[in-house]
Amino acid sequence: MRVGVLTGGGDCPGLNAVIRAAVRKGVQDYGYSFTGFRDGWRGPLAGDIVPLDIPAVRGILPRGGTILGSSRTNPLKAENGIRRIKENLTKYEVDALIAIGGEDTLGVAARLSDEYGVPCVGVPKTIDNDLSATDYTFGFDTAVNIATEAIDRLHTTAESHMRVLVVEVMGRHAGWIALHSGLAGGANVILIPEQRFDVQQVCGWVESRFKVRYAPIVVVAEGATPKGGEMVLKDGSLDSFGHVRLSGVGEWLAKEIERRTGKEARTTVLGHVQRGGTPSAFDRWLATRFGLHAIEAVRDEAYGVMVSLRGTDVVRVPLADATAKLKTVDPKLYAEAGVFFG
């Protein structure tokens, strides 16, 4: 048995831990061989492979990024994409494929598996934690820790200058990073994509914070949208899955706050810092378990499934379910945080 492995979409701390665990268990327990595909779906599409064995995965557990490289290549849009993937899997004698990715990468795996008979097992990843078929995705905990540390640091500089500091975090459709890091970091305003925000109300919270002689920290998810306005975009460009590139709401909001309150407001955009560097202990643990369970699914020939965390158990769910529904922040959860606003 030869197993192909690829990592697609935005990188995420913990990807290497999945690869390591799958290879270690596959080689040691089942005598499998492995082939790595470079840069997500571009690898099987172009036949770009990399050797993958136990020496190749030594020492990678704490390393961020992915030793296989990643891309947002969409093979369903490439000319003869499916045929080329099938030919390359045959050429390199790959019997099963483990696809590690988010909504887009797993969406392709689901179609390849269900419609075209390619034996795929999915492993969910995204720092956004917005896949409903799993309780948590690895990468999220690391991103929240990084954002929380940034908020802690911004509190002291905001107070020294009595400025408003706006922190823009990732979160395209879901405000999980904003909500968790905002609560953990003691933010005075948290804005998420799920609920449009009222700029005047934000300014009210900012002013009430100044009244008690503290400087406000506003955490805003990149996908958060003002009431009566549009999502703020850097430029109009799209990736190959058709997603518009975000970031910009933090800058926009700081300007609005300054204009309406007369208080100095600055923005910190955390951007890819949230996705880089070493994974947290939780993410290493989760990613390692996902890797172990993915190889067990291959052994059981349970294709068309994704491994998923339910409570403390790792279970299998249909790949099609993995991408069917986005996991967004429940309004009740968001309302809980409201006691700290202002």
Report, as residue numbers or ranges, the catalytic residues: 128
Residue 241 CB, nearest distance to ligand F6P (Å)?
A: 10
DSSP 246-267: ---HHHHHHHHHHHHH---EEE
Judge contact between 122 and 307, C-beta under 8 A.
yes
Residue 289 CB, nearest distance to ligand F6P (Å)?
A: 21
Please identify, among the stretches 121-129, 180-188, 210-218, 289-297, the one whose residues bind ligand F6P according to the rule CB under 6 A. 121-129
Residue 189 CB, nearest distance to ligand F6P (Å)?
A: 20
Interaction of residue 245 with ligand F6P, rule CB under 6 A: yes
Question: Whose Cβ is closer to ligand F6P: residue 35's or residue 66's?
Answer: 66
Q: How far apart are CA 245 and CA 172, in angstroms?
A: 9
Among 14, 69, 101, 102, binds ligand F6P (CB under 6 A): 102
Question: Whose Cβ is closer to ligand F6P: residue 2's or residue 245's?
Answer: 245
Distance of CA 79 to the CA centre of its chain: 28
Number of residues forming the site for ligand F6P (CB under 6 A): 12
Among 67, 68, 94, 127, binds ligand F6P (CB under 6 A): 127
Q: 26-33 long-range contacts, Cβ below 8 Å, gap at least 24?
A: 26/295, 26/298, 27/53, 27/54, 28/54, 29/295, 30/1, 30/295, 30/299, 31/1, 32/1, 32/2, 32/3, 32/295, 32/298, 33/1, 33/2, 33/3
Judge contact between 158 and 217, C-beta under 8 A.
yes
Q: How far apart are CA 327 and CA 11, in angstroms?
A: 20
Q: Tell which phi-psi region holds residue 188, choosing left (phi > 0), alpha (psi between -120 and 50) or beta.
A: alpha
DSSP 8-state symbol, 34: E
Among 6, 99, 128, 337, binds ligand F6P (CB under 6 A): 128
Please identify, among the stretches 61-69, 123-131, 210-218, 299-307, the one whose residues bind ligand F6P according to the rule CB under 6 A. 123-131
Among 71, 113, 126, 267, binds ligand F6P (CB under 6 A): 126
Name residues whose C-beta falls within 8 Å of residue 281's C-beta, 6 or more positions apart in sequence: none
Helix (H) or strand (E) holding 33: strand 33-37
Joined tokens for residue 111: 């179609």
Q: Residues at the annotated binding site for substrate?
A: 126-128, 163, 170-172, 222, 266, 272-275
Among 108, 246, 306, 307, binds ligand F6P (CB under 6 A): 246
Residues of span 134-173 touching ligand F6P by CB under 6 A: 170-172
Residues of span 170-189 touching ligand F6P by CB under 6 A: 170-172
Residue 222 CB, nearest distance to ligand F6P (Å)?
A: 6
Among 4, 8, 10, 14, binds ligand F6P (CB under 6 A): 10
* First and final C-alpha spacing in the chain: 59
Residue ranges in contact with ligand F6P by CB under 6 A: 10, 102, 126-128, 170-172, 222, 245-246, 275
